Structure 1
Amino acid sequence: MTDEDETLRDKKQAELEESHRLIEDSIAYTMDIYGYTHSVGRIYAILYLNGGPMTLDELRIELGMSKGSMSLGVRKLLDDKLIHRVFRRGERKDLYQAEQDYFKFFTNFHTQRWQREVSVNMQGIRQAQPRYQALIDDPDTPEDIRENARRKLEKTTASFDYYDFLELLVSKAESGELFKILLDKKDS
């Protein structure tokens, strides 16, 4: 290889690395939309762009993070199913790989939160509704309190359609039907 060829190769390698860094940075910066810190976003970005699984040590070297910070970030991404532990024959250390399918990323991230929203709010509603109703039905309840309880009961009852919608959205996203419906509409 001539000096000229080597210079050209170095220039192209630098361009490749700069392009890679642009994508890595954009992924890391947008992970804040999902509630992740920039450093956790960088973990996901490195794993996503790497093309294969990496150990915590490899990630730590690539990112210059402490092992503790790295472990916490990896655990958060594992819990949210945005990265996965993978097995490689002969490898004794844990290996991690990012979810490569953005539709699965969307589904894993959002459905967990939508399910939690439904669960937490429906539990609160189930506990509050009989109390509101008791205030409404009790002849000793002052009229202004009775009216306030009636309004709150109507509001909480009206939210059922929304929570039914979220449950349907979760179901359609998890089955893949949501994406099929939306992408079929796009092609029409």
Structure 2
Amino acid sequence: MAQSDKQARQSVDQAKDFVIESIGETMDLYGVTRSIGNLYGTMYFEDSMTLDEMREKLQMSKPSMSTGVKKLQEYDIVKQSFRRGSRKQTFVAEKNFFNFFNKFFTKKLEREYTLNLSAIAESQPILEDVMNDENVSEEIREDAREIYNQLENSKAYFHWLEQLVEGIRNGKIFECFPPPEQDESK
């Protein structure tokens, strides 16, 4: 390899590393460890990878790689793939960030509204019991009423979030916020 090719390869690798690092940091913001984010970022630039290839590139243990891949598969942003002539499992990352957004965020947001609506459903009957108990002071019953009403009002947000997730899944969000046209020749 000529010296200029060697320097060019280093520049290309450095550019990829900047993006991998930013993907890792971004996913960390949303509750996925930075190392798993770096794994996704690394896979983003590859056609497909085995666990051994991932381990070699990221200098992580094979169990860590396996755990990371499983987590990414839970979000449906990494899939197992077939590589002719290899008996090892290979994996490929979602390359389209609009699809990534759809798969990753719908799972996160769905968990948010499910957990919170469930907690509200458990809490409100308890509060109703307190509100209706004549043996409890008016001060505590009023406190229970305020909390009950606060929870009741918060349901609007969680139902809106549920609709947002459905809008992301069925693509209606892209009618309001269409993705820009992409030039495939670049």
TM range (shorter): 0.7 to 0.9
Shift, 1:183, TM fit: 2.4
* In 2, Cα distance between equivalents of 1:110 and 1:118: 12
RMSD, aligned α-carbons: 2.0
Question: Is it true that 1:146 corresponds to 2:141 in the alignment?
Answer: yes
Instruction: Compute the displacement of 1:134 (Å).
Output: 2.2
Once residues 158 and 73 of structure 2 are traced to their aligned partners in structure 1, the CA distance between those partners, rounded to angstroms, is 27
Give 1:131's aligned residue. Answer: 126
Distance 2:154 2:39 in 1: 38
The residue aligned with 2:112 is 117
Structure with bigger helix share is: 1
Aligned length: 181
Query: How far off is 1:9 after superposition?
Result: 2.4
| Contiguous gaps of at least 5 residues in structure 1 | none
Give the TM-score taking structure 2 as reference length: 0.87
- Residue 3 of structure 2: aligned partner: 7
**TM-score for the superposition, normalised by structure 1:** 0.87
The more displaced of 52-61 and 133-142 is 133-142
- Give 1:55 shift: 0.5
Query: For the residues of structure 1 that align with 2:18 and 2:109, how far apart are their CA atoms?
Result: 31
| 1:81 match | 76
Query: Hey, what does 1:163 align to over in structure 2?
Result: 158
Secondary structure class of the residue paired with 2:86: coil
Higher mean displacement: 94-103 or 108-117: 108-117
What is the letter of the counterpart of residue 176 of structure 1? G
For 1:155, the aligned partner's letter is Q
- C-alpha separation between the residues in 2 aligned to 1:152 and 1:59? 50
Partner of 1:35: 31
Structure 2 counterpart SS, 1:39 = helix
Percent identical across equivalent pairs? 35
Task: Select the structure of larger CA radius of gyration.
Answer: 1
Q: Using the alignment, how far apart are the partners of 2:124 and 2:141 within structure 1?
A: 13
Mapped pair 1:180 → 2:175 = yes
Residue 139 (structure 1) shift = 2.0
More off after superposition, 72-81 vs 5-14: 5-14
